[in-house]
Structure 1
Amino acid sequence: MPNELMIDRVIAAPRDAVWRAWTEHLDEWFCPAPWRVAESEVEWRAGGIFRTVMEGPAGERVDEGAGVILEIVPGERIVFTDALTPDWRPRGPFMVATIELADAGEGTRYTATCRHWTEEACAQHEAMGFHAGWGAAADQLERVAQRIAAQ
């Protein structure tokens, strides 16, 4: 699809562990090291807030403001956007992200799709390092999910 970026891979962990990593351990993996999630506020329900503040190794901080969770299907799907604030006010949209989980043998098919309003926003996200960054975060997600599965 136009204006879409995607990560699609099989994570070597059961789907319930990947879901728990997403919904209970977001701060541990959501941005690629050496960056980290310095703050987060997430309400895991449709209409809930989705906000993360990322901090770099030199103390730089990225806080793009709070977005909204649009849809939750437990164990299967999370959709969130930065196009709306938690009080349903429109703002300059960048993307809608859809996270989909499906069984894949003993692992989980993990598909993260970012849809952008414009070709320019999509190109900007790609130039920011979408594939490397979201890929590294998916690697970290896999490690957290494997740890959860082993508990």
Structure 2
Amino acid sequence: MPQEPFRIPDLTSRPFRLTTTRTMGAAPGVLYLAWTEHIDQWFAAPGSVRMTAEQAEPFFFETEYAPEPDGPVTRHPHYGRFLRLERDRLVELTWVTGAGGTEGAETVVTVELAPEGDGSVLTLTHAGFVDEESCDRTADAWPLVLDQLDLRTAPAG
């Protein structure tokens, strides 16, 4: 039986997108691995990751967040599949979360990596939001997520 062609999400009916650029302490290769093999070391809850970094392969992980110190922890499932991978240069994946995130819409996250001195310039584009509110909420969250990535991957010293 012939395999179905690989499909890229159609985002034409969901035009809301954001882009953020940040200089990171780690080299592109370290950041590429952080997104494709070590997401549980900086973002996902340990033990929750199911991921093989290959085009069209699905992934799943959860994040955990406690809005107040010593308060209850809330789990946030993340689903998707890899669209494009260019070692040490680009990670593109679909990204689906629930309420407070992508609202169940299949969005696309593109992470572009470029060398900058001993570190990198990371440009993250997140496209395909259902409305401006979910896009704005996510635009506020990504800098905090990238802070965590930089903290966990930057070389010591």
One fold, TM greater than 0.5?
yes
Q: Which of the numbers 7, 17, 42 marks the counterpart of 1:4? A: 17
What RMSD in Å do the two structures reach over aligned CA positions? 2.2
Letter of the 1:135 partner, please give it: P
Structure 1 Cα separation of the partners of residues 37 and 52 of structure 2: 11
- Map 1:1-151 to 2 at 5 A: 3-30=16-43, 36=45, 39-57=48-66, 58-64=72-78, 66-82=79-95, 93-116=105-128, 118=130, 120=131, 122-127=132-137, 130-146=138-154, 149-150=155-156
Identity level (%): 25
Residue segments in structure 1 that go unaligned for 5+ positions in a row:
84-91
Structure 2 Cα separation of the partners of residues 144 and 81 of structure 1: 24
Q: How does the TM-score come out when normalised to structure 2? A: 0.71
CA pair 93-30 structure 1, distance change in 2 beyond 3 A: same
CA pair 126-16 structure 1, distance change in 2 beyond 3 A: same
Structure 1 Cα separation of the partners of residues 34 and 81 of structure 2: 19
Structure 1 Cα separation of the partners of residues 37 and 95 of structure 2: 21
Contact 2:17 2:125 in 1 (8 A): yes
Residue segments in structure 2 that go unaligned for 5+ positions in a row:
1-14, 67-71, 97-103
Q: Give the SS at the match of 1:13.
A: coil
Q: Give the SS at the match of 2:33.
A: helix
Letter of the 1:67 partner, please give it: G
Larger radius of gyration: 2
Higher relative helix content: 1
CA pair 98-17 structure 1, distance change in 2 beyond 3 A: same
Q: How does the TM-score come out when normalised to structure 1? A: 0.73
